[in-house]
Amino acid sequence: MRTQDRGTTLLAVLAFLAFAAVAAGAGYWLGTQRGIHPPPPASADAGAAPANQGGKKLLYYRNPMGLPDTSPTPKKDSMGMDYIPVYEGEDDAGAGLKISTERVQKLGVRVAKVERRAVDAVVRASGRVEVDERRLATVTAKFEGYIEKLYINATGQGVSRGEPLFDAYSPELLAAQREYAVAAQGLVQLKDADEQARAGMRRLADAALARLRLWDVSDEDVARLAASGQARRTLTFRAPAGGVVLERKAVQGMRFMPGEVLFQIADLSSVWLIADVAEQDLGRLKIGTPARVRLEAYPDQVFDGRVTFIYPTMRAETRSAQVRIELPNRDGRMKPAMFAQVELTAAATGAPQIVVPNSAVIDSGTRRVVIVDLGAGRFEPREIKTGSRGDEFTVVIDGLKEGESVVIAANFLLDAESNLRAALAGLKGGSNANPDKLPVSHTAVGTLDEVDAKTGMLTITHEPVKSLNWPQMTMEFMPSNGAIAKAARPGDAIDFEFVERKPGEWVVTKIEKRGAKK
């Protein structure tokens, strides 16, 4: 009886264990069908990365939408999508672009290291050559008269200090000369008279002499008049300074009035360059800042000068202030009203900063992107924040680390690689960053009407666009980079491609003149 009870108990235990095993298996199958996975078994090395079925090492998890974001552990993006695991030896599709080494060499890709250095702040401005106001002289008359003989009769003619300009006749001047001559002779004749008579005649002579000198009669002419007693019919006006005649209103035979400007003479051996500097750049400048000037007339020559004055007022309409630069001009090559480009170099200040060559930065107007070389033909577009821009380097505030490599010669990455366009459009919030497909590129035919010099916006009148069901109309587009606007000129008939980077923002990625060779 006891043996039978033991057998029954053993059978019951075996049946329970079998049922538990079946239940566990069914639960595991059901869990896998619903996406529920059991935790991985404990490893002897807790820090070791898990392996896939092929035994490859798990490197990291990448963003499923192609954004430049990775994670060492599993996670979800803002849309609830799982990050994709990347194993050793696999191509990283999230790195942006994969190009063969042979093609990289053929295309002439050049890279440079991200480094840390002090950057000179270069302020660029436009300006114009003007006359040095301190070297400007005006010739006027202080009495009414007539021009009887003109010696300098052409604008632009050079004159020396003291050179005759014209002879003037004036009844008032002639009367004053005669009055002085009579007084001077009377003073001689009254040398034996009493002191009171001599004093009266002396006062009369002094008054006549003062009038002549107030009318700019030279001491030489006064001495001649006193010695001879003969008044001259005309008075010779002479140049008060050497230089070039900028303005000539004097005409032979004309009548002139007191205060009327007859000649304007400027010494152009030294000139001013007045540059318009933007408000945000004023803090970098000070008196003595070196300046490099290039003139349109002499594009291959650089003129060196220094800032001598910063004007105390600003122009409200342009938000700029004027800066004066003095330039020697002994050979007279620089002429007033010439247009110039100016580079003002402020000395480097502060600690060294992370910088990249200027050619590495792709500026679309709304964001700045660099192409990072990841090695083995892999390139990643990365948005950065930039600071001041120097003559050769741009300061990077955020987005790059010292020692990384960036592409400095890769125009093909913008124009020839559609994959890169997709990566750029998907950077941080573009409406084309669709996980299921690349951004849609549209083609159209139209006419480039205008390129806004300040904003870079392109005004294009296009024909109907079938892919968007658009009618013919005129609208504004944003260029994807600065080279786009240079591919055609206003008025040209063009073929162009564009994408929607974010809702309502249409970006031109390519422009070609109609009929141009492709």
For the segment 468-488, what is each residue's pLDDT rounded down to a tens digit? 878 898 989 988 887 787 888
CATH fourth-level superfamily of 442-513:
Copper binding periplasmic protein CusF (2.40.50.320)
Pairing of strands 473-479, 505-513: parallel
Which candidate, 241, 239, 181, 233, places its Cα nearest to that of 211?
Answer: 181
Q: What confidence score (pLDDT) does residue 252 get? A: 92
Per DSSP, the three-state class of 102 is helix
- How far is 482 from 485, CA to CA, in rounded Å? 6
Nearest to 497 by CA among 488, 506, 453: 506
Instruction: Give the pLDDT confidence of 179-208 residue by residue, as tens digits.
Output: 877 777 777 777 777 777 777 777 887 888
Cα–Cα separations (whole angstroms), residue 65 to 6, 421, 435: 64, 14, 5
Tens-place pLDDT, residues 48-89:
345 454 567 787 777 665 555 677 788 887 666 677 787 765
Positive or negative, the CA dihedral 150, 154, 155, 157 is negative
Strands 405-409 and 393-398: unpaired
Q: Rounded to whole angstroms, what are the CA distances from 226 to 7, 222, 508?
A: 162, 6, 86
282-326: pLDDT as tens digits = 888 889 999 999 998 898 899 999 999 999 999 888 889 999 999
Contact 149, 166 (CB under 8 A): yes
Instruction: Work out the percent of the chain whose per-residue pLDDT is above 70.
Output: 75
Per-residue pLDDT, 493: 93
Domain map of the chain by residue range? 1-38, 46-95, 105-117+351-425, 143-258, 442-513
Q: What is the pLDDT of residue 439?
A: 58
Tell me the pLDDT band of 4, cut-offs 50, 70 and 90: very low
Structure tokens at 307: 């800032």
> 366: which 2 tokens?
């709304």
Average pLDDT score over residue span 327-337: 91
Residue 32 binned pLDDT confidence (cut-offs 50, 70, 90): very low
User: Would you say 126 and 205 are in contact if contact means Cβ atoms under 8 Å apart?
Assistant: no
The CATH label, of 3.40.50.300, 3.10.690.10, 2.40.420.20, 1.10.1040.10, for the domain at 105-117+351-425 is: 2.40.420.20
Radius of gyration of the chain (CA): 43
More confident residue, 431 or 351: 351
Q: How far is CA 511 from CA 91, 137, 470, 487, 497, in A?
A: 32, 55, 19, 6, 7
Using CA atoms, how far apart are residues 163 and 171, in angstroms rounded to an integer? Answer: 24
State pLDDT tens for residues 380-393: 788 899 887 777 88
Comparing CA positions, the residue from 257, 253, 366, 309 lying closest to residue 132 is 309
Burial label, 66 (beta-carbon count in 10 A; 0-12, 13-18, 19+): buried
The amino acid that residue 370 corresponds to is V
According to the model, what pLDDT value does residue 447 have? 94
pLDDT band at 279 (very low <50, low <70, confident <90, very high): confident
